[in-house]
Structures are given as C-alpha cells and as structure tokens.
C-alpha cells in the first residue's frame, strides 16, 4: 500500500477516533509520523491511539519533556517520541531510536527533526488546523512497501 488520503476531522473527538483506528493497527517495524504545527492535535491523536491499543483508559503522558515514552502493547513495544526540543538529528540516536525502529512500533511527533534518520518506510499523519475552528485537516500518506499492513485503509 502506497498512497495518501485526506480527511476532515470535525473536532477533537474525531482526532481521537483517528488515533484509535490507526495506532492499534501498528505492528513492530511500523513507523507513524505525526506532523503539524503547535496545537494541531498530534499528542491528542497519539494519546487516544495508545489508550485504544492498551485496551482502555490509561495514563499516557506527553513525552515533550522526557522525549520518549514506551508502552508494552500486545503487538510489541510502542515507542512514542516527541522531538520538538531536539536541535540536532543525532540526538534522537541517544534516545534509542535505531532500536525502536528495528524492533518496535514507533510514533514520532515533530518528525522534521529526524533529518537523514527518517526511515525509508513510514506513514505520516499531517494535521493542519483550520483557523477559527476546532476542525483539522489530516493528510495521511504512506511511503515504502506497506503491502500486508494491518493499518486500516481510509
């Protein structure tokens, strides 16, 4: 599966619903990049998706200050990176990024900070806020070979 889809997310609940569809479908080796400006819903989408993958309400803190949080899911270890505070792509290596990509399920907020470390195979959700509204536009794209993926087709 290679390609893209555009979605209109009417409100925060729709952003959460998208996360709850995508994240539980991820498997080890999958990398989901969450792009968009400040306040566009990246962490909201990630939190709802992680909670859905864990099977219900759970504490899912933003990794803004810790830079990475891990979760043991039935499918494998999920690594949630927030790279906003990084100044150099090499810093992500110190966080275990290579191990995460090799064996884990990876969510990355602020993927532009990865620079040359961007994995060749990844999916991206780019969230764009509509001014003066709670609505978001989500552009979902897939790069690399996603055949056999369990990500829902949108």
Domain annotation for the chain: domains and CATH numbers = 3-143 (3.40.50.300)
Query: What are the C-alpha distances in Å from 108 to residues 93, 104, 111, 135?
Result: 13, 12, 6, 22
pLDDT digits (tens, 9 = 90+) for 113-140: 999 999 999 999 999 998 888 899 999 9
pTM: 0.92
Q: And the tokens for 58?
A: 């759970």
Q: What is the largest CA-CA distance in the chain?
A: 41
Looking only at the bridges linking them, the beta strands covering 76-82 and 68-73 are: antiparallel
Instruction: Tell me: pLDDT of 1 over 60.
Output: no
Give dist(CA 125, CA 71) in Å, integer.
21
| Res. 153 pLDDT band, cuts 50 70 90 | low
pLDDT digits (tens, 9 = 90+) for 18-55: 999 999 999 999 999 999 999 999 999 999 999 999 99
Q: State the Cα angle at 135 between 130 and 141, rounded to 5°.
A: 85
Give dist(CA 108, CA 122) in Å, integer.
10
Average pLDDT in the chain: 91
Q: What is the DSSP letter of 153?
A: P
């Amino acid at each position: 599966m290679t390609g893209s889809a555009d979605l209109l997310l009417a409100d925060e609940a729709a952003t959460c619903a998208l996360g709850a569809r995508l994240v539980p479908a991820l498997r080890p080796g999958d990398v989901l990049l969450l792009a968009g400006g400040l306040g566009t819903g990246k962490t909201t989408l990630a939190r709802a998706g992680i909670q859905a993958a864990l099977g219900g309400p759970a504490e899912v803190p933003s990794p803004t200050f810790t830079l990475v949080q891990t979760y043991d899911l039935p499918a494998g270890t999920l690594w949630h990176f927030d790279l906003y505070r990084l100044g150099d792509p090499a810093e992500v290596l110190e966080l275990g990024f290579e191990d995460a990509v090799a064996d884990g399920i990876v969510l990355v907020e602020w993927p532009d900070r990865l620079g040359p470390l961007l994995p060749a195979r990844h999916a991206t959700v780019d969230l764009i806020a509509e001014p003066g509204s709670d609505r978001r536009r989500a552009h979902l794209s897939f790069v690399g070979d996603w055949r056999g993926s369990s990500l829902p087709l949108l």
